[in-house]
Amino acid sequence: MPQGGKHGNNPQLVEDQRFPQQRLSRKARQKTNVFDPDFVTGASPFSQNDIYSRAANLQIRDGQGGGGRRRANPNAAHKKFVKKN
C-alpha cells in the first residue's frame, strides 16, 4: 500500500501522475556542495549549535518526539490551587 504524508514514497500508477519535487533546502544544499571551491570539510569558525533563535529557546529538536511545546491534556487531573512561595 502507498504510504501517505509529505515525504511518502508512492508508486507510479498512471503515466501522467504528478509527484512532488523532493528538494533539499537552500541551507542544506550550501552545506553539502562538495564541488564548491570554498568547500572545507567540517571546518567552520562559526558554531553549528544554535542557542539564540526562537527554536532553540522553545527547545525544538529534530528528534523522535518532534519539537516545540506539547499541548497539555485538558482532561488530565491536576491541582486547582497551588500555594506559591
Say what the pTM is. 0.27
pLDDT in tens, 48-85: 666 666 666 666 665 545 555 567 788 888 878 877 76
Contact 10, 3 (CB under 8 A): yes
CA distances in angstroms from 3 to 6, 42, 56, listed in the order given: 10, 35, 31
At 55 the pLDDT is: 63
